[in-house]
Structure 1
Amino acid sequence: MDRNESDSLVALEYLMDEFFNPGTSNSRKHEIEQQLSSFKYLPQFWKLCLYFITNTSSQYVTMFALSTLESVINQQWANTDWPFREELKNTLYNYLIEKGNSAPHFVRGKYAKLLVAIAKQDWPSHYPNFFNNLLELLKTEPNQLIGLILLRTTSEELMGLHTSFENGRKDEVTRLLHEYIPIVFDSLNMILENLGSKPRHTATATPPPSPTHPSCAPSLPQQLVTTATFKPDSKVLNKEALETVQHLFTWVQINQIPPSIIKAIFNFTNISSYAQDDHDMCVLAMSTINELLYRKCTPPGSQEFFTQLYYYTIELLRDITNSRIDTLDPIFVEKLSELLILLVEQHLWRLEMEPRFSALEFLSLLYQLTVQLPSVQCYLRCLNVWAVFFKQTKPQKSQKYLEAFLGLLTALLKKIQFSSNGNQLRLIDNVETNDDNETEWQIFLKTSLEIISMVAEYAPLETLNVILIPWKTCYDIYQRIETIVDHQNCSLNCELAESERLSYIITDFSSLTQTLARLSPIFFDQEAEEVTNVSTPMVNNLIEKLLESASLATSIRFYSLKTNNPRLTDCFIDNHSQLLAALKTYLIWITRNDKVAVENLKLIVDITLPVIHSAVPVKVSNSAAHLLLALSNLTCAPNLMLLADVAQFINVAPNLKFRDNQTTFVTYSAITNLLLKPWPDCSLDSANHRNYLTGVFFDGLTWTFRDLSSSDNENRVRQVVEGVLPALSHIVDFSKDLPMASKKKLFLAIKSTIEHAVILFPAYAKNSEISTFVLIFFLNVLRVLQQQLGVDGTKNAVQVFLDVAVKEQEAGNFLDKLLQIFQLVIEAPGSSYKNFLAGILQLCMDNVYPFLLSHGTEKTDAFMALLTLLHSILLHRWQYFYSSQVRLGYSPVYSETEGDAPEPIQLMAVLQVFGQALLQQDINIFKLSLASLEDLNAKWKLYHNVLFRYNGLSKYLTVLVQTLIDKSQSLLSEDIQVAIYNMATVNFDYFFATFLPGFLRGIDAITDQQREVLLTNFMQNHDKDMPTFVQHLRIFVNDIHHFRLCSMPSGFV
């Protein structure tokens, strides 16, 4: 590149145009990048950049030159000669004044950022007029946009969360900015008021009735205004003003914010004032207001400020509910709901102490907003506000809100029923699911039911009465459906229009049934005896009808009938599922009378068992399985075993095929309860009957697996293993809380299966799927049944696993599970671990650790399992490494002299694994290693251990301090700082006198003088309490960053 300025500019423009040309190949772009990088090493290259920005018309060249100058300012400013610094400041400032308004936003933003970067280092000592210039720009209308951009950039760069300064500079900048804030807000207030003084249009819409006055519309003031929109240029200015204020709100003290600026911002939130394309401005204004409340800061004396903010919000709600509410932007509603939630959460209790405050007025406006908003998304936002209000309402104050709550209840019930809100509900999607596997309809209904349940907490009987009215209407129709069933042809006799109407009725029945199920806990509340007594007749009647409906659904199987409306079939499936789920929630009530319980149990079994199999839709069979599980947990469950249908079901259950694993697991959990759960006063005949059924069930479940041999086809083995072991693993895990007698019965039932799994493992260890299933199964056996398995059983199994792991050097596919098994063996009580510890350590250090070092990035789970295992060994079996010392009478924790220290090489080798983990980039591995070291120090005084002090302490300190400097694990900074402090406490004199000087000598890119300053600053604050030490450590790290930037050689970027 020619050093002549004009030639260099021409060459650069050519290169930049070529680089951004779509036809340029990637290889050529790489060559251009190398040429551009070489430019930065030319002598006085920053002067060329200055020439470029003043003489080019290419935006590419301008941005390249500005970016290069930015690196000079940030990294070499202190070493740049004074004339150039002055020239650059003047050039940047003059450009913004002369061309900033017409320049592309990214160009003027870059110019502003460079000017602020200079101020960050020079203001006020070497750039005293920086902020005064900025204030002058805000006062003159033609320059206000530039002034706002500079002000926002100043706020972001000087007061942002990630802004770093050298020691003491942050405090100076903060103090200076706070001094200017009153003047700044005066200027911003003037700008916002000028922008906001615009005509408005007429709004005459009539709101719906409020929840407290359902029969008449509230008297709210009507505003007569005329329509207008922002001028394009004023929209840009307004946007910049609001964004600037928004960032100032992140750090300015509340008592420095004048109420007038809040009022000015609220002027831009009134939707009725603007045309539809101004929604983005309203959203930005809402975001600006919310920024104040995100801070959750309420200093003394600020109550009046937040009270005034609340009344501005009320005015906004009035404006919205009297305006074009159907055109509200969903993002605006999101921001509005955030504002309301934050106000209620943080300030409701303060507002209630205000004489002028009326919660009913607030609820009335919120009610209108809730029922008027047309979109589901906006409706759900409003419900979030109601939820927060309910949570903040104290029981003693609920009575005065009761009428409003019941009004909301009526509105929500209408909202969720097709009979009253069909037009909106038909548009709600019930097919596509989100990341939580929920459809829009499910979210809509679930959220609505949660609010209804909150109303029921305050008015249970009234809520039950209101819901039962439409539910009974749907129930009556549901009972009559049998009359139109053609049993001979397995079909429904109804026209398409009639089936469509029927589908909506069934959906309402399902929704209302789900609502009643959600309320069931309220009527079982022992502390609300009066509610339980009064509701008993209603609940008994409800249960009777639920049983009738579920019995009808199981006997007729509506979902299997042929119909001309597929949607009707889906509705029958969902309703059947909800009826079973509702019975589950009312089981306690159903079975509380012993005589009635036996009759009801037989009925519920007849309702449930016939639909737990693969020929039934998943949703129905899954609900039935959960109902069976709930039955098996009841105190009256022994009566179930008296029923022949139950015994027959247990016999055939292993052979039933279910459509999903969840139904399988839930069904087997219920059977496990029936077979293994302890029952008081169980007769000998009953016990023998249970034992027989236990043997039959587990034999039926496992015989195909026990029939496998080491020579079987691998595909067949995989299919059998996949079908048996996950279910058996689930049963074992489900039994973890059962008493020892039950676990013994389970172990005896599956003992042969456990032994066979160990026998088969070596033959199929290379098959990742088979080996994983076996190891997961054995892992659960060890967690739950290790005591029953015994020392010999554990020893035999672990020895097999060890032999396979040593033989299969590349057994990374099952390594994490294997290491978890070893961990359980190590942690088991007693001395059985001694049989395995030496072999496990040898395997870990000779095979697993080297393998993971070469495959660490691919095997993070296995690396974490290894760290967890080694941590467990050190935590629980520390004495193993010091057994000779213990026999000699020494402490197993640490010795004070080097001569007394043993030389357990294995211990240092294990600790080296944790050190290596701290060098990994994976944050989870780093975090686990650091937490393990801290835990070992808390338990065994690891950092004080003489071996660690002399062989590892300085290495660990170096790694941790360097990690802070490199910011490679910035999310764990606080944990790292605490660990450094704990290591330093071993010997503060060593830390300050030996470690720190040695560490600083190893830091490159800083001068000896800077090293001396760093050392002196840290040592003069030789405090030993953690908060002070950590604070000075942070300053030490920040100062290193600063000195490195200042010491970078000329031309280095």
Structure 2
Amino acid sequence: MSLLALNVRKISVPFLPFINWSLTFQRGKKMATSKLTDEERTKYLNPLHEAGWTLVDNRDAIYKEFVCQDFNQAWGFMSKVALQAEKMDHHPEWFNVYNKVQITLSTHDVNGLSQRDVKLANFIEKDGSSSSLATLELYVNELFSGNANKEQIEKIHQALDNFSRQKGAWKDALYFLNQTTNPQTAMYSLTVLEGVITKGWSGLSNSEQVELRTTLYHWLLEKHQFAPYFIRNKAVQLVVHIARSDWPQKYPDFFNDVLMQVSSPSSSSTILGLIFLQTASEELGTPRDGLLSIRKAELNQRLLQLIPQILAILTGLLQTIWEKRAHSITSTPPPSPTNPLPPESSSPHQQLSKANSCISQSLNSEAEPVARLVLQSLTHFFTWIPLSNHVTPQLMELIFRFVGMGTEEVQPMMSTCNELSVPVVALGTVNEILYKNCVPAEFENFVVLLFNNCCIILHHFVNNLNNGHLPQQPRPQFLEKLVELVHLLVSNHLRRLEGRLLPQFSVPQFLSLFFSFTFEQTDWGRYASCLDTWQVFLNYVKQSSNANGNHSIFNGDSLALRYQDSLVTLSEHVLLKTLFASNITQLEELDDEAVDGNMETERQKIQHQSIEIFVTAGELVRNQTLSLLNEPFQRCTSAYRSLTSLSTTNNNVVRLESKEQLKEMLVLFKDLAMLIQLVGRLSELHTGPDYCTHFEVGKSLVQKLVDLASYGSVVSNLNFIGIPADELKSTLSLVHAHVLSSLQAWCHWISMWAHGDGPKEPVNSLVSALVASAIDVFSPTWSNMRTTVGSVKENNREKVYQAGLQLLSSVVNVIRTANLWSCSSWIEVFHSVYDINYLPPMIHRELTRCVLGSAIVTWRNCTTEEQHWEERQTRLQLTLDRATQATRILVQELGREPLTPLLIQGKAVVISTVTLLADLAGLVRDETTASKAALYSVLSPWIEPTLILLSYYINDSEVTEAIFQLYVAIFDSLLSQLGIGRAEKAVQTFLEVFKQQNIQEILQQDNVHGIRAVEQLLRILQIVVQEPGNAFKRFLPNTLSLCLDHIHPCILQVNSPDIKETFYHLLTLILRHHWRSFFKGSVLMTYGSQDMDRAEQMDNRPQFIAIMTSYGQSFLMPDITIFKQNLEALDNLQSKWKLYHKAIFRDGIASQFISTLLNVLTNGSHELLREEIGLAIYAMASPDFEAFFQQLLPNYLLSCQGVEDHQKMALKSGFTNDTDLPSFTQNVHRLTNDLRCFRSTNISSASLYQC
């Protein structure tokens, strides 16, 4: 068989040479021959059939067509065959058109096939292999040339795929691999071999397996130095794949060969062996899917037995490489940054920290790739082997020697494949050990060694960078790995050494070096990583200090007291790093436009990290960190206040004289914006047990913010001329937004002040000032500022709006003071809020909700009489009447004709009214009964009109959705006030409306608003079914009918995940709260015998089965959220009502559920829920393990498709009858893994040779 037999391209030429030869050579005496016997036909013709020769119909002859590159190649091919035929005195039949050659072989003398035909066919195949290789390379070159069109590419792919599927293709692939110098051809050949090895290995005979394996391995030995690395690595992977199946039973020499290569004196052979070793770790130590569980365990255990030998060889390689360095440093080791190291703990690496050390020699070109591969192999082995018995301080010292190369002035070389340098890989090896939380036998020495070596590296960088001893910048990857190492040490091990007097290591000195290292970083990404590490350290200090049980952190020998000065210094440097005044060059490099997944820009992320560091440190050393803010805050606020003094006219015009003046302003105000954010976060430090102690400090800060807020309104009216100042205006808007946000953060502190025992006049004035500043944001002056839609300025104005809304909301809902209604500005906006028409729609809606909501919140520390409910209710009623007047008129006019124009014209006002009512109803969900009663008295007149509107607008999904949102809020917040009668009428109206509308049509049309309306109805029913008592039970039949008859049939086809979550949650609530509507048994029956359980009376059996069916269907959906939700729902029903013990579940439903869940595990579609699914199967099987083992499991295996009977028997015998949870779930996962493996193997084998 060869590629000559594949017709890949059709080439049109003006003249096609045509030859039809019947060659009869009669030179000399003919060879004596006879017709093939049956035994000979089987022996000789089967290999030819695999090579593509076919029997001719109605004739004892064999036939094959060859396709050459062109006519010249075809002619040469025929000439070679003709010469051989002449020698054999044979009579082949030919047919040739251009590049195609068709050959038919048969011996005329015997009137059939003879040995001559077999010999000539074998000769043709041998000669055709070289022609096939040329043809393959032609196709491959054309495929990768970029000149082939889509049709040609498809034909080439089809031809190559067909070739790879033919039996015996692997032999040609081996020939191509050995003969070609084309990388693409070699990769294709390896791909063909991969198909055979991974899909059809068991279909080869033992001799064929040996031939393939031996040929491939010897090719690697001969060609690995010259083959491209991706070809070499692919071939190695294939040999390891063979070992994955055959080692050690049929391939006993695999690891001996690998370790022999690793130990070879030839560096190229060592490299090959190391690649084998790492691949073996990946494929044998942690095998992926595709292997039976027993084989996985066997490979893992056998490889674990070799680990001591492997580690010894790898360690020896590293030791040899280090000793062979051209210029090893043997001078006396220097002292550590704090204390001298004893000689036994010194290492060649530590010698590199000697001040002004001489330039070291990097590894040579032969040793460097070997060292890298050794370290990479170690890293992967460390991901899965038990480290405690294999990682020693001596090994760590050796690895750290190579880490130390990253600190040398001569940087280690990097390979041409863009691989990581040796020091980076070595650091990765160390980090992998730390990620595994390794606890070796000599644990303390191990931890000290890690810290000490890390300390020396940090000391080297800090010392030499400051003194200019590193002419080259260290590679970024090395520094990133170093930061990762420090983070792991601080997170996992610092607590083990902190506070201990060790002769070799000092924690304060380590932190000091890391501090210097942190603020030497010019890369913001690494700096952010360093801040993460400092945050971990600060949290540790905080937890350790609070563990003493005292409110004050400065008790005894607390960590906070010990590190007091260091924490202040850290806060100071973090602050300076974040201020433009001290770090403008680096800060301008940060992106402040593109946002990440958390909607933060790069600059904002750094600022927030810095603020969190400052605040956490402030919790530990409060007064001292606050003092750091005084100078920069005073400087920036003074500049902010002086803006109006620059105005030269009465028109609020400020002339900017120069770019330098503009730049100076930007620096000041950007810093002010950040500092204001910081002040806002500091509010948390003043609301705890130290509230009284730091009251005056808090009062001062709040007053400064209030003054800035008042001044912000003035600044917003300034107009800058002379130089374009859009960025300046945007920055000023940002400052104002941060001021309002910071005040909102302080509202909890203000609430403590307002409801404390002190005088009320100061805090009442403060609240009035807060309200005035926030309301001013929504004035026409601010809102009419000229902005460009989508600009930074526009975005910052939106931030000001949002900050103002948040501040007002906190005043209303957090401070909750009656003094709010004494503010004239508040009363004014309360009565006019709905008339505002210049704000963006969403901002206006939120403002209206906040302002009108103030009439229904319960004030703190006020009696019922002092709440002034009647006055507030009256004010709310008047404002609401004005806001809803147009809708009331519409309802009154609905009886007239024609309706359609009226409904179209009134749609906008209806949605506006209903949305406002829904917003107000949602506000009182967690309020007192008095608040709810006050609001319901206002909303009550709208119950009937909205139901009328629903009936008129039932075909308008937008209005329908809005009305249902209103009733969700009413049922959720005001159900008690609504009463059973009105609630029943409303629900009945909803159900009737949807029956008329045909809810299935809404869902099938995939209308967004319509689906949301149905979802809101389901939410209403969720609230209803949870209500206790018998009054609401009358809704249950209609609710079940709606869910099971109308929604369930089409829920799987709906694209919206929200409605699915709501639907299934409603089903869960029905079962949870109305279990007795299905099962009327007593507690004795619930926990009694199975026979008693089967005798239990059951109502609504069809509905219960339909609910369970719906749950089961949800496990067929790809949505993992729904899957998890319903698994948890069933588990909760089992915990509360013993669902899995019920006879109806055990006798029928359980088998369906378990089968479905086993299929999910087998398919691997929900791997994230693997453990949860295993636990669910155990819980469902546990009420009757005997039925599971004797009936359910055998029936499940019997129904499995794509698995042979003997494989099913193996699966059943491998599932032991253990009933404890760990063993059972382990058996489940083993079963599904092996079932998947069997099925995949069978499918692959069946499809491998299908053309």
TM normalised by structure 2 equals: 0.76
**Residue of structure 1 in register with 2:436 after alignment:** 295
**Residue of structure 1 in register with 2:799 after alignment:** 619
- Asked if 1:864 is matched to 2:1024, the reply is no
Name the SS for the 2:642 alignment partner. helix
- Asked if 1:570 is matched to 2:730, the reply is yes
Q: Distance in 2 between matches of 1:923 and 1:431?
A: 34
Q: Distance in 1 between matches of 2:971 and 2:1208?
A: 56
Is this contact kept in 2: 1:40–1:1052, CA < 8 A? no
2:186 to 50, 59, 62: 62
**Greater Rg by CA:** 2
1:391 to partner: Cα distance: 1.3
How has the CA–CA distance of structure 1 residues 942 and 539 changed in structure 2, closer, same or farther, with 3 Å as cutoff?
closer
Match for 2:733: what amino acid? I
1:27 to partner: Cα distance: 4.8
Match for 2:1205: what amino acid? D
How has the CA–CA distance of structure 1 residues 9 and 798 changed in structure 2, closer, same or farther, with 3 Å as cutoff?
farther
1:794 to 983, 993, 1017: 983
Is this contact kept in 1: 2:611–2:678, CA < 8 A? yes
1:351 to 497, 504, 507: 497
**Residue of structure 2 in register with 1:155 after alignment:** 281
Is this contact kept in 1: 2:287–2:296, CA < 8 A? no
1:743 to 909, 917, 932: 932
- Asked if 1:429 is matched to 2:591, the reply is yes
- Asked if 1:779 is matched to 2:968, the reply is yes
Is this contact kept in 1: 2:236–2:279, CA < 8 A? yes
Match for 2:1193: what amino acid? L
Deviation per CA, 1:277-310, whole angstroms, max 9, x where unpaired?
Answer: 7994254443332222222343554332232122
1:817 to partner: Cα distance: 2.9
- Asked if 1:640 is matched to 2:777, the reply is no
Q: Distance in 2 between matches of 1:1011 and 1:684?
A: 78
How has the CA–CA distance of structure 1 residues 960 and 756 changed in structure 2, closer, same or farther, with 3 Å as cutoff?
same
2:1221 to 998, 1008, 1026: 1026
**Residue of structure 1 in register with 2:244 after alignment:** 120
Q: Distance in 2 between matches of 1:343 and 1:299?
A: 15
Aligned length: 1029
**Residue of structure 1 in register with 2:459 after alignment:** 318
Deviation per CA, 1:2-23, whole angstroms, max 9, x where unpaired?
Answer: 3346165555545544544534
1:375 to 511, 523, 526: 523
817-826 or 889-898, which moves further after superposition? 889-898
After TM superposition, the structure 1 = structure 2 runs for residues 7-406 of structure 1, keeping only pairs within 5 Å, are 9=133, 12-140=136-264, 141-160=267-286, 162=288, 165-192=291-318, 197=325, 221-226=354-359, 236-254=369-387, 255-257=389-391, 258-270=395-407, 272-274=409-411, 280-281=420-421, 282-299=423-440, 301-321=442-462, 322-323=464-465, 324=470, 327=473, 331-352=477-498, 353=500, 355=502, 356-393=504-541, 394-395=544-545, 396-406=558-568
How has the CA–CA distance of structure 1 residues 678 and 36 changed in structure 2, closer, same or farther, with 3 Å as cutoff?
same
**Residue of structure 1 in register with 2:63 after alignment:** none
How has the CA–CA distance of structure 1 residues 429 and 35 changed in structure 2, closer, same or farther, with 3 Å as cutoff?
closer
The gaps in structure 1 that reach 5 residues or longer are 202-208, 211-218
How has the CA–CA distance of structure 1 residues 984 and 545 changed in structure 2, closer, same or farther, with 3 Å as cutoff?
closer
**Residue of structure 2 in register with 1:689 after alignment:** 871
Q: Distance in 1 between matches of 2:727 and 2:328?
A: 48
Match for 1:145: what amino acid? I
After TM superposition, the structure 1 = structure 2 runs for residues 954-1033 of structure 1, keeping only pairs within 5 Å, are 954-1018=1151-1215, 1021-1033=1216-1228
**Residue of structure 2 in register with 1:214 after alignment:** none
How has the CA–CA distance of structure 1 residues 893 and 490 changed in structure 2, closer, same or farther, with 3 Å as cutoff?
farther
Q: Distance in 2 between matches of 1:315 and 1:849?
A: 67
1:972 to partner: Cα distance: 1.8
How has the CA–CA distance of structure 1 residues 551 and 192 changed in structure 2, closer, same or farther, with 3 Å as cutoff?
same
1:450 to partner: Cα distance: 0.9
- Asked if 1:810 is matched to 2:1001, the reply is yes
How has the CA–CA distance of structure 1 residues 118 and 401 changed in structure 2, closer, same or farther, with 3 Å as cutoff?
same
1:1024 to partner: Cα distance: 1.5
How has the CA–CA distance of structure 1 residues 247 and 704 changed in structure 2, closer, same or farther, with 3 Å as cutoff?
farther
How has the CA–CA distance of structure 1 residues 752 and 418 changed in structure 2, closer, same or farther, with 3 Å as cutoff?
same
Deviation per CA, 1:228-270, whole angstroms, max 9, x where unpaired?
Answer: 7776776654543333222122113323132244224413443
- Asked if 1:661 is matched to 2:787, the reply is no
Deviation per CA, 1:897-938, whole angstroms, max 9, x where unpaired?
Answer: 767665822222222222222222332333333333333333
1:439 to partner: Cα distance: 2.1
- Asked if 1:450 is matched to 2:612, the reply is yes
More RCO (CA 8 Å, sep 6+): 1
Is this contact kept in 1: 2:856–2:934, CA < 8 A? no
427-436 or 710-719, which moves further after superposition? 710-719
716-725 or 237-246, which moves further after superposition? 716-725
1:890 to partner: Cα distance: 11
Q: Distance in 1 between matches of 2:315 and 2:977?
A: 77
How has the CA–CA distance of structure 1 residues 147 and 477 changed in structure 2, closer, same or farther, with 3 Å as cutoff?
same
**Residue of structure 1 in register with 2:707 after alignment:** 548
How has the CA–CA distance of structure 1 residues 311 and 704 changed in structure 2, closer, same or farther, with 3 Å as cutoff?
farther
Is this contact kept in 2: 1:243–1:284, CA < 8 A? yes
Q: Distance in 2 between matches of 1:872 and 1:685?
A: 38
Is this contact kept in 2: 1:705–1:753, CA < 8 A? no
808-817 or 159-168, which moves further after superposition? 159-168
How has the CA–CA distance of structure 1 residues 622 and 248 changed in structure 2, closer, same or farther, with 3 Å as cutoff?
same
TM normalised by structure 1 equals: 0.90
Deviation per CA, 1:626-665, whole angstroms, max 9, x where unpaired?
Answer: 2222222456710121222221111112223533736743
688-697 or 185-194, which moves further after superposition? 185-194
1:1029 to partner: Cα distance: 1.1
Match for 2:1191: what amino acid? T
1:512 to 675, 682, 694: 675
After TM superposition, the structure 1 = structure 2 runs for residues 871-886 of structure 1, keeping only pairs within 5 Å, are 871-882=1068-1079
Is this contact kept in 2: 1:268–1:285, CA < 8 A? no
Q: Distance in 2 between matches of 1:266 and 1:41?
A: 49
1:348 to partner: Cα distance: 0.5
Q: Distance in 1 between matches of 2:326 and 2:854?
A: 72
Name the SS for the 2:1117 alignment partner. coil
**Residue of structure 2 in register with 1:215 after alignment:** none
**Residue of structure 2 in register with 1:582 after alignment:** 742
**Residue of structure 1 in register with 2:54 after alignment:** none
1:725 to partner: Cα distance: 4.4
Q: Distance in 2 between matches of 1:893 and 1:847?
A: 38
Q: Distance in 2 between matches of 1:805 and 1:446?
A: 50
Q: Distance in 2 between matches of 1:1047 and 1:416?
A: 62
1:597 to 745, 760, 763: 763
Q: Distance in 2 between matches of 1:948 and 1:31?
A: 55
1:506 to partner: Cα distance: 2.4
Match for 2:988: what amino acid? Q
1:151 to partner: Cα distance: 0.9
Q: Distance in 2 between matches of 1:1037 and 1:265?
A: 44
705-714 or 441-450, which moves further after superposition? 705-714
Q: Distance in 2 between matches of 1:715 and 1:106?
A: 68
How has the CA–CA distance of structure 1 residues 651 and 276 changed in structure 2, closer, same or farther, with 3 Å as cutoff?
farther
Name the SS for the 2:643 alignment partner. helix
1:921 to 1118, 1123, 1129: 1118
Deviation per CA, 1:27-67, whole angstroms, max 9, x where unpaired?
Answer: 55445444444445533343343333333444344333323
1:390 to partner: Cα distance: 0.9
How has the CA–CA distance of structure 1 residues 641 and 192 changed in structure 2, closer, same or farther, with 3 Å as cutoff?
same
How has the CA–CA distance of structure 1 residues 660 and 386 changed in structure 2, closer, same or farther, with 3 Å as cutoff?
farther
How has the CA–CA distance of structure 1 residues 87 and 663 changed in structure 2, closer, same or farther, with 3 Å as cutoff?
farther
**Residue of structure 2 in register with 1:1052 after alignment:** 1247
* RMSD value, Cα: 3.5
Q: Distance in 2 between matches of 1:927 and 1:386?
A: 37
Q: Distance in 2 between matches of 1:41 and 1:787?
A: 73
1:460 to partner: Cα distance: 0.7
